[in-house]
Amino acid sequence: SQELCSALEQEHAKLQTAKEAVEQRTRELRKEGELLHKNIEQQMCCLCTQTQMLPALPEKKMVFKGLVTNKDNMNKLMLAPLIRYPLLGGSALITFEKAEVAQRIIEVKEHVVELSYGEDLEELDRCRVRVQAAPVDILLPSALEIGLTRSSRSILVSDLPSLAIPEEALLDKLELFFSKTKNGGGEVESREFLDDSGQVVLTFAEDGVAEPLIARGHIQVLIGKGRYELKISPCVSGDITNLQFQPSRCPRTVLLSGIPDVLGEEPMRDALEIHFQKASRGGGEVDALAYVPVGQHGVAVFTEDAG
């Protein structure tokens, strides 16, 4: 009876330890799930923010010869997606050169990957792990509508010279020139240098100043010891009025999950690539592989597939 009681106590202790381990893992998974949800929200927010901050379109002289036959193709803006995909610990993204290879790996769902700790080892010295394969689904922008507004008090100044002076000094000289009524200007309320295009936006304090300057198109400005002809254009700003997304499946990429922390990051990456590039196991040539060990988090960046 005493031995039975002792055995029950030991069994109870083991069950208690197992319960605590399960509870700990549950807390970790809950944290990872919350982080995944947060990362997805940040991804969506980041995409919207990046879309709102559209750079100024560079000016380019073009000659159009022909006829517009399809009005539906007019006024469309082509977007190149840049999607950030959160990766939890114990997972990997593997991209194959061929889509049919990725499809075969996904259909099998569970794969037994052999890990070896040396070259000439006996069978008992080898380790096998089971990993799960799943498709990668992401959200892509499917429709974007931008409302354009032309400012009545602002002008866009371009064709600026490349001078060895600070940007603030150049802005000061432009403000000084355009604030004088004899140059057709007026009081400048604000000025802004557009880093992405090398252009300057000047906003006047009163109406009626910008339009005559825009009508002139060009104006000669004395900057330092040189006189330069600058181009004046209307200033147009845009706000997103509609942004829609559609789910899309990556054709060549597979998500591997459930990877235990039994090898270093580089050996595990090599073992996964060796396993999944073998045709005898349904694999094929690997184009890229990213692995995130347990306890870490990563972000994969997807761009448009040129192939």
Q: Please list the residues that pair with 249 across neighbouring strands.
A: 137
Residue 64 in any domain: the answer is no
Q: How far is CA 224 from CA 145, 159, 163, in A?
A: 43, 16, 9
- Say how far apart CA 170 and CA 164 lie, in whole Å: 10
pTM of the model: 0.51
pLDDT tens for the chain, 307 residues long, are: 667 677 677 777 777 777 777 677 667 666 665 655 555 555 554 444 444 444 445 555 666 665 655 655 555 556 677 788 888 888 999 999 899 999 999 998 999 888 865 444 454 446 888 899 999 988 888 887 888 888 999 999 998 888 888 888 899 999 999 999 999 999 999 999 887 678 999 999 999 999 999 999 999 998 878 889 999 999 988 888 888 888 888 889 999 999 988 888 888 888 899 899 888 888 888 888 989 898 888 888 887 765 4
DSSP 137: E
Residue 291 in any domain: the answer is yes
- Say how far apart CA 289 and CA 168 lie, in whole Å: 46
251 shares a domain with 233: no
Q: How far is CA 161 from CA 57, 180, 229, 244, in A?
A: 19, 21, 9, 41
236 shares a domain with 150: yes
110 shares a domain with 230: no
Residue 164 in any domain: the answer is yes
Unique residue bearing structure tokens 């399960």: 22
Q: What is the DSSP string of 8-39?
A: HHHHHHHHHHHHHHHHHHHHHHHHHHHHHHHH
196 shares a domain with 151: yes
When divided into structural domains, the chain yields a total of: 3
228 shares a domain with 152: yes
Q: Please list the residues that pair with 95 across neighbouring strands.
A: 253, 288
Residue 41 in any domain: the answer is yes
Question: Which candidate, 299, 161, 127, 160, places its Cα nearest to that of 233?
Answer: 160
- Say how far apart CA 61 and CA 218 lie, in whole Å: 16
Give the contacts of 214 (CB within 8 A, at least 6 positions apart). 155, 232, 233, 234
254 shares a domain with 131: yes
117 shares a domain with 42: no
Q: Which range marks the domain in which residue 265 is found? A: 82-143+243-303
